[in-house]
Amino acid sequence: GDSVTQMEGPVTLSEEAFLTINCTYTATGYPSLFWYVQYPGEGLQLLLKATKADDKGSNKGFEATYRKETTSFHLEKGSVQVSDSAVYFCALRSRQNNNDMRFGAGTRLTVKP
């Protein structure tokens, strides 16, 4: 079945460092892809999304590009801040079954000043 695999954490970076959190997927057809973020003590929030190949989702300085050839949707940010400390979840929505969203296990990011 459809699935998402993301980079295991935790990830610890210094402020202003470059961030990459890898995410790859397995799916029948072409799913929509998402990154969700969960800040400490808060609920999950949609960070960005891409619905077709080569689309780039972006928000709050984060970017991810839908790569069909490598079945990937890696999350990147050029310069992280302490306030980016959170758990990041990669997810896909199947085209065959729009009800079916599959989430990765989450990657905890800690940014130190």
Partner 1 sequence: GAGVSQSPSNKVTEKGKDVELRCDPISGHTALYWYRQRLGQGLEFLIYFQGNSAPDKSGLPSDRFSAERTGESVSTLTIQRTQQEDSAVYLCASSLGQQGGQFFGPGTRLTVL
- Using the rule CB under 8 A, is 104 a contact of partner 1? yes
Least distance in Å: CB of 56 to partner 1?
A: 16
Tell me the C-alpha distance between 111 and 104, whole Å.
Answer: 21
Least distance in Å: CB of 79 to partner 1?
A: 25
Closest by Cα among 30, 1, 6, 17 to 103: 6
- Using the rule CB under 8 A, is 27 a contact of partner 1? no
Point out which residues bind partner 1 (CB under 8 A): 4, 32, 34, 36, 42-46, 49, 89, 91, 97-106
